[in-house]
Structure 1
Amino acid sequence: MIHFKAIGKVMGALLMLFALMMLPGAAFAYYFQTGDLDAMLQSAFVTFTVGSLMFFSFSRQDQNIRKREGYLIVSVSWFLMSLFGMLPYLLSDLAMDIPDAIFETISGLTTTGATILTDIEATPKGLLFWRSMTQWIGGLGIIVLTVAIFPLLGIGGIELFVAESPGPTSDKLHPRIQETAKRLWYVYMGLTILVGVLYFIGGMTFYDAVNHALTTMATGGFSTKNDSLAFFTSPFIQYTAIVFMFLAGTNFTVIYFGLRGKLDRVWNSDEFRAYITVVILMVLFLTIPVVYYSGEGIEKGFRDTLFQIVSLITTTGYVTADYTSYHNGLTMVFFMFLFFGASAGSTSGGIKFIRHLTFFKNSWLEFKRIVHPRAVVPLKINGERVTGKIITHIMNFLLIYLMIFTIGSIIVSLMGYDLLTAFGAVATSIGNVGPAIGRVGPMDNFAFFDPFTKIFLSFLMLLGRLELFTILVLFTPYFWRAN
């Protein structure tokens, strides 16, 4: 039996915290006098009121949260945050309709970074900050933050942490899950502050620096400028973004151990070595063609190449150049990056390197097993044997991911869009990247899609952010059977 009352209390607590995170946007609206103060305050009030009613209505209920409740809480909470998160858009003077507001909100919370805004710089400052804040909230996950304070509410958090953790594994820094969540958020907040300071030193205004700091560490890619990071021509700013996008795409446990001076724990990570190796090899492989086709100088061509590779692999989605303008072959290479994803346990979306690594290592060992059928050839990651259960889980994930991409592309193309646009829109949505190919390239937006397609792509964003199974399991009869 599912404990719906326990679920109600947890979701109430999440909505209350979510409402409080709307207040900084209201502060910016007040400071800049951009006419969106009422929209921000009303949205925060409504969200906090509903959250309070849910929380205190179930405050005396049994808080026994099991795995099923954990998956249900995560899925439903993201749905509720999407509904309440779109209130500022609906109540402001932007005159957004519901599909547009849902798309923009989910794109923010899932750190996808796709947008329907055609003139970002004309958007009210408070609302624009809320847009960036949704990405920072969704980056490491508001539920991971809430897990850290759940002991104060009398709620256990392990199942929520597992259900929302971005990747096939959720490494612990501490035996107590609350301490793990706290330390992850300390790293997240610390790096956000640091990159914000560097952006400010590099010449951004305080407002731009704060916004871009939030979306850089969230690997979200929302910008306050129509031209994204290309607006800031300073090499210092762009190289700073590259470094922190790369860090945001690194497993946060690896960063934590690196900060503690345990460099052996960093380099012994097979996934981290694969991550940095692929980035280096792709830069070496693509820099000369980009310089040739773009007509830029060596340094600018190298910087654009490195920036686009890191931005797409980490699913950040910032752009400094139109990679679809170089050559069709290069366009397809950059399109492939949409299927990479950086590290598990990072803020990036996508498939993740650990899954690719496991797949290729297992495929390589299969040749050895064919030649030596009686030999026991174990698959090892980080020096530890990978169980058959994990291998099966990863193979199933890759197959389902490919199926969703294929079926999703067919659905979008049936809505009347060309095949390149369908491929690009679905790949970037499920991978939580942002820019793609076709009519959704790095210099385009998603405003031209019809309402149904926007809702469909929003659903794909949620699927990708929650690693497919967290949502898909709700559609199986086994999940709802009493036990």
Structure 2
Amino acid sequence: MHQLINFWPIARVISVLLLIIGMMMWTGIPFSAYYGESVLPLLYAGLTTITAAGILWLTTQRRPSDDTLPRPADVNIRKREGYLIVALSWTAMVSFGMLPYLYSGMLPDVVDALFETVSGMTTTGASVLTDIEIQPRGLLYWRSLTQWIGGMGIIVLTVAIFPLLGIGGIELFAAEAPGPTSDKLHPRISETAKRLWFIYVGLTVAEGIVLFVAGMSPFEAINHALTTMATGGFSTRNASAAAFPPLIQYILIVFMFLAGVNYTVLYLSLKRRWSEVWQSDELKAYIGLVVVVSLFFTGRIWYITGVPLEQSFRDSMFQVVSLVTTTGYVSADYTSWTPSLTMICFVLLFLGACAGSTAGGIKIIRNLVFFKNSFLEFKRIIHPQAIIPLRLNGQIVPGRIITHIFNFLLLYLILFVIGSVVLSMLGLDFQTSVGAMATSLGNVGPGIGGVGPVDNFAWLSDPVKLFLSFVMIVGRLEIFTVLVLFTPYFWRLN
């Protein structure tokens, strides 16, 4: 049976997304006005975006005499439409999201504005700004807000309002939600999206209040709450988290860690269903990884550098949590510690936190499945006739899930190698090539080499920035969501 791609719901959803983006731009106007800055860039950018949304919406209106457009009640997004919506929506979001930078002259170069916007929307946190503290406050707020928008995925928010459009959103949620699992908190997908966003918003507000009480200014507390819960890492300071006192850094550690937890687990915790919470093998691995690596780092830094024990522990814990959760805040230059610790930090760029969180990277659950299955393979070699299934959270993992995860890991590694080669061909040295590729594909922010924790991406050439922008989107959307569009199978009619 021939199935043409239905572009009606695609256009409808993108129009709603642009409307939301435009209205969110205007939330930065009060900051611009309060600090005596021009409100026109955000005003015009929001107006442009909302106008584009209106035009796109009007083109999808069903006229009484037009029988070519489906009725809203008959529309359901299939896999093809779901993946197209996600890819095209992110393209639209970054295209219009960079308008405030261009209209204000903060980043007059289109490539730089695009890179900064993609880095924000994908929660990567790589920046081309060489002096953040002199930038207009209203635009810094928008810069932080782009990460908050991309953190849970603006697509998921739109899924929550799909009933208003008469569109079913299960396929879209599957394409956008981060991680290989899609545990649902409620039978209806729109209710699931709403619960995820309530948790997301609640934690953001809570962190902002705690940071303010701890001594941050209201503006900085808002910005860091937005970028922490998004695991984005954009800061209002040039020195990032290193500019703040120890108490602030400990608060950021706690909320970065929470942002890396599967939101299903956070929901169960709020419901005090502790027995279900501790059934999560991924959560146990996540906690164990952070604790063990942080303690190892603490001992090494304290013994080799002579830094006081408390600072050694704080810097170690902060950087480990920041890298594992792909937040990308910096409290210390980890490349200046020891070569062995720098190498471990490089490895952490690949891990990611829990699936179903706002973190990027491979995700711990995929690594857990890989190592568990690899260990069981030795047992299968000794007992070739035995049926030895892989269990996770007390349940047998289906073979198709294992195959999917192994394919993802292999494809991730291939993309990393190919991307590193491309970057080296574009003029980067070896260390910077692998560092930039690893941090962009994993949506982390700081890497190694010329894009380390005390450097930024401003010095890179335009071709490199454009390539890394594409890589960041591929990494944020879990590789398959984007690359499937480049396969002939996606466009076949049957």
Which residue identity lines up with residue 137 of structure 2 in the other structure?
K
Deviation of residue 93 (structure 1)?
Answer: 2.5
Aligned to 2:386: 375
Q: In the alignment, what sits opposite 2:34?
A: 31
Which residue is 2:7 aligned to?
A: 4
What does residue 101 of structure 2 align with?
89
Query: Which of 44, 47, 66 is matched with 1:45 structurally?
Result: 47
Match of 2:21 among 8, 18, 23: 18
Pairs within 5 Å for 1:120-199: 120-199=132-211
CA–CA separation in structure 1 for the residues paired with 2:107 and 2:419: 29
Length-normalised TM-score, structure 2: 0.96
Q: Give the 3-state SS of the residue equivalent to 2:17 in structure 1.
A: helix
Alpha-carbon separation, structure 1, partners of 2:320 and 2:177: 25
What is residue 229 of structure 1 aligned with on the other side?
241
Q: Deviations over 1:390-415 (max 9, x none)?
A: 11110010001001100100111111
Matched, 1:403 2:414: yes
CA contact (8 A) 1:424 1:437 kept: yes
**Are residue 455 (structure 1) and residue 466 (structure 2) matched?**
yes
Aligned match of 2:261: 250
Q: Is the 8 A contact 1:294 1:301 kept in 2?
A: no
Match 1:353 to one of 349, 364, 381: 364
Correspondence 1:436-447 to 2 at 5 A: 436-447=447-458
Which residue identity does 1:135 align to in structure 2?
A: Q
- For 1:116 and 1:18, how far apart are their aligned partners in 2? 22
**Alignment map for 1:311-350 (pairs within 5 Å):** 311-350=322-361
C-alpha offsets along residues 142-164 of structure 1, whole Å, 9 cap, x if unaligned? 01111111111212111111000
Which whole-Å CA distance do the structure 2 matches of 1:307 and 1:333 have between them? 14
The question of 1:265 aligning with 2:267 is answered no
Distance in 2 between the 1:225 and 1:136 partners?
18
Measured after TM superposition, the shift of residue 88 of structure 1 is: 0.6
Shift of 1:295: 3.1
Identity of aligned residues (%): 60
1:477 aligns with 2:488: yes
Q: Distance in 1 between matches of 2:17 and 2:312?
A: 45
Equivalences, count: 481
Larger displacement relative to structure 2 (152-161 or 80-89):
152-161
**Letter of the structure 1 residue corresponding to residue 454 of structure 2:** M
Quote how far apart the aligned CAs of 1:243 are. 0.6
Rounded to whole Å, the distance in 1 between the matches of 2:190 and 2:394 is 28
Cα separation, 1, equivalents of 2:166 and 2:305: 58
For structure 2, list consecutive stretches of 5 or more residues without a partner in the other structure: 63-68
Alignment of 1:202-213 (within 5 A): 202-213=214-225
Letter in 1 for 2:192: T
Q: CA deviation at 1:290?
A: 1.5
Write the distance in 1 (CA, Å) between the matches of 2:168 and 2:32.
37
- Distance in 2, matches of 1:109 and 1:269, equals 29
Residues 89 and 127 of structure 1 are in contact (CA less than 8 Å); yes or no, is this contact kept in structure 2? yes
Q: 1:291 to 1:96 in 2, by over 3 A?
A: farther
| Cα distance between partner residues in 2 of 1:297 and 1:64 | 60
**Is the contact made by 2:76 and 2:169 (CA closer than 8 Å) also made in structure 1?**
no
Deviation at 1:294, TM superposition (A): 3.8
1:30 shift after superposition: 1.5
Contact kept, 8 Å, 1:350 with 1:430, in 2: the verdict is yes
Given residue 231 of structure 1, which amino acid in structure 2 is its aligned partner? A
SS of corresponding position for 2:27: helix
Given that 1:9 and 1:59 are in contact with CA atoms closer than 8 Å, whether structure 2 keeps it comes out as no
How many angstroms apart in 1 are the aligned matches of 2:305 and 2:43? 47
Q: Structure 1 residues 56-65 or 239-248, which shifts more?
A: 56-65
Return the letter of the residue paired with 1:89: Y
Which whole-Å CA distance do the structure 2 matches of 1:257 and 1:311 have between them?
24
In the TM superposition, residue 95 of structure 1 has moved relative to its aligned partner by 4.4
Q: State the alpha-carbon separation in 1 of the partners of residues 269 and 106 from structure 2.
A: 44
Paired residue type of 2:5 = I
Return the letter of the residue paired with 1:21: M
Matched AA of 1:39? P
Sort the Cα spacing of 1:59 and 1:158 in 2 relative to 1 into closer, same or farther, 3 A.
Answer: farther
User: Aligned pair in 2 of structure 1 residues 377, 327: CA closer, same or farther (>3 Å)?
Assistant: same
Amino acid aligned to 2:229: M
Structure 1 portions without partners, runs of 5+: none
Superposed CA RMSD in Å reads 0.9
